[in-house]
Structure 1
Amino acid sequence: MSSHHIVRDDQEPALIIANGAACSQELLGQLLEWSPFVVVLDSAIERVLELEIKVDVLLGDFDSGFDANYYKEIQYPLEIIHTPNQDKTDLEKAFDFLIERNFPAVNVVWATGKRADHTITNITSIAKFRNQLKIVLFDDHSKIHLLPQKFQKWYTKNTVISLIPIGAVHGIHSVNLFYPLQNDSLTIGYRTGSSNHVTEDGLITIEHSKGDLLLMECWD
């Protein structure tokens, strides 16, 4: 893994590396090429350094015995952000940090897998940042993001699309999905739109009137 990433303009997304299951080096390399700014959560720093990735910010609550300044010497220049607030996860604190720095968007890796509680919390917590930060979570099998009330994108036939509500979502309409939704409601734990797929090459349209709806582009 390269020790450098390409610096582009301020409109490019930052990259957060959390501490879930690692993704492939190919995916991580692709994201690093488009990320001008890399934030690593403290619990993942050793794994990241093994990959020789240049880190811009090390962020976390720095539990007892964690010597953040040690990494500052290794990764100079490295910004150390201490976030002791126990009412938020480290990933949420990283989102807050990027919002304060006026980043418009962020890609996130290593946020899924390993502990199920962390995975569920990391995925669902992006809803609270809807109006402040565009967030996309990646792993080797999925791309996850929150939908605006009207979403359109071109896909190839048979692309797997899962629609997962956070809580309840109402007034859902779709175009060009194999299992159509027509003024439907989805509720987590009761009915979701998992494992739908694109009917034909072309635009899909997904609209909803109320609630937070996640789109997951999935592949095996």
Structure 2
Amino acid sequence: MTKKALLFINGTPPESFPDLQLYDVICCTDGAFHYLNDLNFPLDQLTFVSGDFDAGTDLIRNVKGQEGFSFEIIETPDQDKTDFQKALEILAERGVHHVDVLGGSGGEMDHFLGNLHVAQLFSHLLNITFYDAYGRYFFAEKHVVLNDVNGKIISLYPFPVAENIKTTGLKWPLNQETLEVTTRIGTRNEASENCVSITFSAGNLIVFVGK
């Protein structure tokens, strides 16, 4: 059985929550717990809260104790890794295959870039998709098909290079072309059809799909 997780991290809080019934595991980092509590998220749905708890543990332990919630508190003190990275390690160890991430963008931009770096490290183990107020983004497999996207902004961003990219269904198609962050990127394209196909032969490619 393919296991799917919803992970909240400490970027910009989401404007709404997805259907929680779609997930086998629901978790957050310690920093994200604070905004979930403020947004009246159903904390009884949490599987675990993890992190180095530099954001403080009093709120988390008090809420758990007062309400009798059963979520785990997992302390991950390793300062050589981010809380996001350590949460992904826990999910991978628990047999999760797909991770939807909320709170991955916004705030300080070095955190955002760091989150992309971490996602790339795990791209061979986990299928990670970030969601924010503007759309979704993910590291693409060598062949990806996007459905129901006609008229949406589609951006292709090499990380740092993606070779021999071929697309169909985009307003400005690529035909066996290479994108490299220091020379040419593929942002702000647009889907001209309802189905977009993207293939590439080597490297890493982030695909952004607008709402």
Compute the TM-score of the two structures, normalised by the length of structure 1.
0.86
| RMSD after superposition | 1.8
- 1:83-120: per-residue Cα shift (whole Å, max 9, x none)? 11112111111111000000111111011101111111
Q: Is the 8 A contact 1:15 1:31 kept in 2?
A: no
Q: Is the 8 A contact 2:161 2:181 kept in 1?
A: yes
Matched, 1:146 2:135: no
Of 1, 13, 16 in structure 2, the residue corresponding to residue 22 of structure 1 is 13
Of 111, 114, 119 in structure 1, the residue corresponding to residue 107 of structure 2 is 114
Of 38, 43, 46 in structure 1, the residue corresponding to residue 26 of structure 2 is 38
Q: Kindly tell me: are residues 65 and 169 of structure 1, through their superposed partners in 2, closer, same or farther at Cα, counting changes over 3 Å?
A: closer
Letter in 2 for 1:14: A
Residue equivalent to 1:53: 42
Letter in 2 for 1:37: V
Q: In the TM superposition, what is the alpha-carbon distance from 1:48 to its structure 2 partner?
A: 1.0
Counterparts of 2:8 and 2:52, CA distance in 1 = 15
Q: In the TM superposition, what is the alpha-carbon distance from 1:195 to its structure 2 partner?
A: 0.8
Counterparts of 1:156 and 1:91, CA distance in 2 = 29
- Number of residue pairs the alignment of both structures matches: 206
Counterparts of 1:65 and 1:216, CA distance in 2 = 34
Q: Percent identity?
A: 27
Q: Kindly tell me: are residues 70 and 193 of structure 1, through their superposed partners in 2, closer, same or farther at Cα, counting changes over 3 Å?
A: same
- Structure 1: state its 5+ residue gaps: 1-9
Compute the TM-score of the two structures, normalised by the length of structure 2.
0.89
- 1:126-175: per-residue Cα shift (whole Å, max 9, x none)? 11112211111000112011111111232342221111111111111111
- Structure 2: state its 5+ residue gaps: none
Counterparts of 1:90 and 1:31, CA distance in 2 = 24
